[in-house]
Amino acid sequence: MRIVVLDGSTLNPGDLSWNHLEQLGEVKFYNRTAPEEICERADGAEAILVNKLGISAKTIEALQDLRYIGVTATGFNMVDIDAAARRRIPVCNVPTYGTRSVAQMVFAHILEFTQNVGHHDRTVRDEGRWAVCPDFCYWDYPMIELDGLTMGIVGLGRIGMTTARLALAFGMQVSAYDPYAQSASEEIRMVNLNQLFEQSDIISLHCPLTPDNEKLVNTERLSLMKSTAFLVNTSRGPLVDSEALAAALNSGQIAGAGLDVLEQEPPPKQHPLYTANNCRITPHISWATRSARERLLQTAVSNFAAFQQGQLQNVVNGIDSV
């Protein structure tokens, strides 16, 4: 089979091997593909693998040989899954590869707020302040202990539960909101959304993006938060109203925000959160540990191998047979 990987560089910038995929067919690799190049590069392909490249209904109709679409990510909103279903083309994603890595990034942001390691390292090495300090130590921000604080988790799926367990290991109290889940632990208290925003010292978002929860974090909900509270979003950028969050940070309504995702990626150069007070932004990298990417690649290949054998796994568009 002819397989085309259209945007492989984010998944594999060179530290992983595509060997197992190459054993399944004739593979053509592209690090990046512009939207206008898709049809030319994928012409004649029976299978395509995409990460964030948009695959529209028009593109699906144009690729007459196409039989399989593999998404090398969990999110699949960039593919018109209904158009694929009409042609009986399965769309398969990778749902579980990054759970621990994303939860780890949540606490990377949290610990940066509570300890300010990066800032103090710069004052020691770049500014030389420790060398001339009249005391044996100094700190520029309040040092915050997590033990006893309340972590509020919106969305109690795999990543939310893993984040909750890490919070419990730090001695935190954990509250959660999830309209589709019951508490899986006596240590997790289920609350409504307003209670979670009112009572939490740190709020971490772990829910999929739907039409109902777009801009879930808005002016009204930010106004419920404690002035000492922090918001962390490693889930989906459009869950947060960026303008409202920037206003809340700049006014001191909340203490800080750690974001690994924004509503547009890459974001514009003049994004309002770039200059917001106490806002830390990482470029959508919580998923990108080598271990997580290796699991992602293995599952993407496994999905395609199953398809070749007449089976399907991790299908997101309702196709149940090939």
Q: Which residues are catalytic?
A: 236, 265, 284
Residues 6+ positions from 10 with CB-CB distance below 8 Å: 51, 52, 288
Q: Is 126 helix (H, G, I), strand (E, B) or coil?
A: coil
Name the nearest CA neighbour of 33 among 52, 14, 16, 15: 52
Work out the burial of residue 104: count CB atoms within 10 Å of its CB; fewer than 13 is exposed, 13-18 middle, 19 or more buried: middle
Give me the sheet containing 68-71, strands edge to edge.
26-29, 2-5, 47-50, 68-71, 91-92
Sign, CA torsion 153/154/160/161: positive
Name the nearest CA neighbour of 199 among 219, 172, 229, 179: 229
Q: Is 151 helix (H, G, I), strand (E, B) or coil?
A: strand
